[in-house]
Amino acid sequence: MPTEEKNSPLSTIKRPSVLIHAEQCKGCGRCVAVCPKGVLALGTQHNRYGYRYAKPQNPDNCIGCGTCFYACPEPGAVTVYRKEKKEDK
């Protein structure tokens, strides 16, 4: 497993989180439906294509499981950040 670099984005993550890229989201709601912790919801705002996009409503509940990522049919619409575990030596 690759080691974290000192200045990598993963080195600053305190807890798991999900990022929805609004312009990639088509508002299908699959990520919302599969999230076991109810982190995501469809927002009321529209992206430039006219779709209501998903957004975190309870971000502190994210466990970094990735089910939203795997349920999403749009490549690049969902990014899940998980803090890597340090390897035992």
Closest CA to 31 of 62, 3, 60: 62
Residue at 57 is within a domain:
yes
Q: What is the CATH classification number for the domain harbouring 44?
A: 3.30.70.3270
What own/partner pairs with CB < 8 Å and gap ≥ 24 does 35-40 have? 35/67, 35/68, 36/63, 36/65, 36/67, 37/61, 37/62, 37/63, 39/68, 40/68
The count of domains in the chain is: 1
Give pLDDT tens digits for 38-68. Answer: 999 999 999 999 999 999 999 999 999 999 9
Tell me the pTM: 0.77
Predicted pLDDT of residue 1: 38
Split at pLDDT 50, 70, 90, the class of 82 is: confident
Q: Tokens representing 85?
A: 């575990």
Distance of CA 75 to the CA centre of its chain: 12
**Does 1 fall in a domain?**
no
Q: Does residue 86 sit within a domain?
A: no
